[in-house]
Chains A and B, each alone.
Chain A
Amino acid sequence: MIFTVLIPLLLACFVPLISKLKDKIHTGIFIFFIPFVIFLYYIQFVGSDFTTMKQTINWIPSLGVNFNFYLDGLSLLFVLLISGIGALVVLYSIYYLGKDERLGHFYVYLLMFMAAMLGVVLSDNIYVLYTFWELTSISSFLLIGYWHFNERSRYGALKSMLITVFGGLSMFGAFILLSVITDTTSIQSMIEQKDIILNSTYLPFILVLLLLGAFTKSAQFPFHIWLPDAMEAPTPVSAYLHSATMVKAGLFLVARFSPIFSSYEWFFIIVSIVGIITLCWGSYMAVRQTDLKAILAFSTISQLGMIMAMLGFGTDLAIYAAVFHILNHATFKGSLFMVAGIVDHETGTRDIRKLGGLLTFMPMTATLALFGTFSMAGIPLPFLNGFYSKELFFDSSIHLTSNGLSSFAEFLVQVIPYLAVFGSIFTFVYSMYFFFGVFGGKNQLSLLPKKPHEAPIGMLISPIILVLGVIVIGLFPNLVNGTFLAHAADAVKGTVAEELHILFWHGWKTPLIMSLTVVGIGIVLTLTRKKWAGVYRFIPGKLSLFKLYDIVLEKLNSVSKGITKQYMTGSLRLYVAIILGVTLTLTFITMFATGGVTIQFDNLADVRVIEVSVVFIMIVAAIGTIFARNNVAIILIAGVVGYGVAVLFVIYRAPDLALTQLVIETVSVVLFLLCFYHMPKLRKRDETKSSKSINIIISVGFGALMTIIGISAHSSKWFDSIADYFIETSYKLGGGHNIVNVILVDMRGFDTLFEITVLGIAALAIFSLVKLKKNKEAE
């Protein structure tokens, strides 16, 4: 199994080579065989005696991250969709994309996506699943931005990236929590330990984070906003990614984890509500669109909402219907996107207001669209697969039970059938709007950029095959039932249930009446569409999630820019104030919180007159520097402090330090004098009272802090000093009487070495600063 995932990735490396030949042979012809062979490989597993398969290849065993591939009914359904529709899409793209496009790029991205998607549905290891999940986001980003010279493409690509990666990261959070709780990285062993997960206190977090990932990927309300903007991608991409495969990854995720969560009440509530709202809102908004692909995008959103709702219901019937509709939706929506692409390709526009009456010009395309749209609308005809899954949807929505659930869930159970009918009515309306808007009515040839004509046969092959799928499943629904879908439904439920027979005629039961209601009201609404279209001015009116996204993005930018500007003012004084202020506060809090302040008066030496007088002079001089108003005066007064320090060293019997201090002090004075010639005259700083008082607070506070630290450090001696060792051994080991110098060059010579290095670097730096400045002047 691993080879089917890796082969597209490996072969993607060779695509740029093949694409050099694109003037002779279209690159897509080579690419076509990859998904086709994968499809043929997996079709052999279809059958009523299907059993699950496992394959493990180590990647990072120490972290439990391995390529655990697991093929069950659900994976098989998705794998066949991905490879089958992938092959058809590649075939379609051969005719759709001309040789002047950057074909190499296109097929590399597409193969990347295909491999990633296969990896998502086959992975049993959550981390590998997440890896492939992000790879689908990235390759989808690349594909949406394929025409990168187009501003809308870049906008759509960025939007989808931000939203799906946001969801992906949330999902990663859920995965980490899951693997920490269950101590495994395999989804199947998590399902075995579902009691641990269901009893965990983190259960709400896990559920919400996981569902965020699924909802963003599957374009559920309110994260659906990226999907209409992703329609800037080439049509084969829209058909493949944004109808059949990637947007179903979220559904796959929910289905994959539903054996764990299905007994959790909030799973039912959240998933059902979000699904139903998405169904209603998507179908309601689809009628408003004027762009063919936008209609299809909102239609995809609403159909995904419907599947999501069914996964949320969690009854045997609903899960079966969900799996069935995943298959059905992929067939008719894929074909409809291709039809929209053909119309765009042959007339030059996708604007439904300019199109019309194309039935006579494009009879083949019109026939394909007819089957696609009627199947999507769920019209009760025995050769359309959409009807079956829609009726199963109604059936499952009225058979929800609220036993032992909270009152809110009970209310939900009552409301769901009505919402389902409401959403389906609009589904009917936009399906008819799509078909009759393009192919019915009068033609307006003057508005079209090109003269319309039938598409080349090669372009029609893929939609024909998909529509054949619609019809075959429609005529013989039980063909895919026991052999294929039942296994998928079992995988979602986690148990093997008895087989379900899909019948066209159930007799006069509630679902059929609901279907007929949908058709009845739908026809009325379609015919009077112009009259009630004004309702869109009030709902959603000016409020729109698209605008909200733009505002949020813009606000995020401007607010963070504002915050950064608040403290990154370029003023060094402010930065130093912040650094010192934060250090001050944190250290003070830490010291007092941990009881670090200790003041003890034992172990103190006697104070002598000579020390007092020297320190007094130093204090007076130090305070004097603050108030001095003259450059040279400050230097000279600071010199007093420096010499005072030297005398303190003398008093405390450190002649070496005193020598060094004296030299350094003198050199600094001279250096200061050197600089001052070039520096501006010290002027009175124009400080406000508040900034001055803040400065005083910080400086006094810092002084106090250092004093307290010094006193506390002296008061709390925990160990004996190692000075005795140096005193004893400086002559014995070091061969010198001067202990300070023995320590510097012998005992701790490394420090000296690097201090020498520091001085060397400083000298070089000064030299180069002076020299480079001259060179700059020369330029």
Chain B
Amino acid sequence: MNDLLELTKQLIEITIVICVIGISISLLLLLYRALVGPSNADRAVALDGIGINLMGLAALLAIIIVTTKLNDVILLIGILLFLGTIAIAKFLEKGVIIDRNMD
């Protein structure tokens, strides 16, 4: 039983390292897109992607340091990314974020 637990622990650690490396590579590629991306829409999508990767990163960290305190962070990143992306998209589309009242 203990061996099994030990094995699982090691397995998790290895998985986490692989995941972190994967996310890091993905972040770098997204960063390249954000820096170079020919249009601002490319950059917006890259930023969105970076955010989602950060969610993953935060979740992995929560597992590493064995805490539930980061769950709020993960959820918040999700909400804010959505809002941010919407705002950017609206800006790119219309040039304004908040429409004026029609009066």
Contact = CB atoms under 8 A, between A and B. Distances in A.
Interface string B67-103: 1011011001100100110011001100111100000
Contact of A610 (B40, B61, B67): B61
B43 A670 contact: no
Nearest to B92: A632
Nearest to B59: A650
A647 B65 CA distance: 14
Interface residues of A, number: 36
A528 interface: no
Contact of B97 (A636, A643, A674): A674
Given A610-B20, A617-B27, A655-B73, A673 B91 contact: yes
A666 B84 contact: yes
Contacts of B61: 610, 650-651
Contacts of B50: 640, 643
A632 B91 contact: yes
A616 B25 CA distance: 12
Nearest to A657: B73
B84 to A, nearest CB: 5
Contacts of B70: 650, 655, 658
A177 B46 CA distance: 73
Contacts of A666: 80, 83-84
B101 to A, nearest CB: 14
A747 interface: no
B34 A640 contact: yes
B82 to A, nearest CB: 10
A562 interface: no
Contact of A662 (B21, B46, B73): B73
A630 B88 contact: no
Interface string B33-59: 011010010011011001100100110
Main secondary structure of the interface of B (DSSP, over half): helix
Contact of B88 (A609, A616, A620, A636): A636
Chain B interface bracket (under 10, 10 to 19, 20 to 34, 35 or more) = 35 or more
B76 A663 contact: yes
A619 to B, nearest CB: 10
Nearest to B73: A658
A677 interface: yes
Contacts, number: 105
Interface string A602-620: 0000000110011011001
Interface string A323-337: 000000000000000
Residue from the set A628, A655, A665 with the largest chain B CB neighbour count within 10 Å: A655
B56 to A, nearest CB: 11
Interface string A651-677: 101010011001101100110011011
B76 A662 contact: yes
Contact of B51 (A617, A637, A643, A670): A643
Contacts of A643: 47, 50-51, 54
B57 A610 contact: yes
A637 B28 CA distance: 13
Contacts of A647: 54, 57-58
A257 to B, nearest CB: 79
A649 to B, nearest CB: 9
A670 B65 CA distance: 33
A640 B27 CA distance: 10
Contact of B58 (A628, A650, A665, A670): A650
Interface in A579-618: 609-610, 613-614, 616-617
B78 to A, nearest CB: 10
A621 interface: yes
B44 A636 contact: yes
Contacts of B27: 613, 617
A624 interface: yes
A632 B87 contact: no
A670 B84 contact: yes
A609 B21 CA distance: 8
A665 B24 CA distance: 21
Interface of A: 609-610, 613-614, 616-617, 620-621, 624, 628, 630, 632-633, 636-637, 639-640, 643, 646-647, 650-651, 653, 655, 658-659, 662-663, 665-666, 669-670, 673-674, 676-677
4 shortest A-B CB distances, which residue pairs?
A613-B24, A636-B43, A666-B80, A624-B35
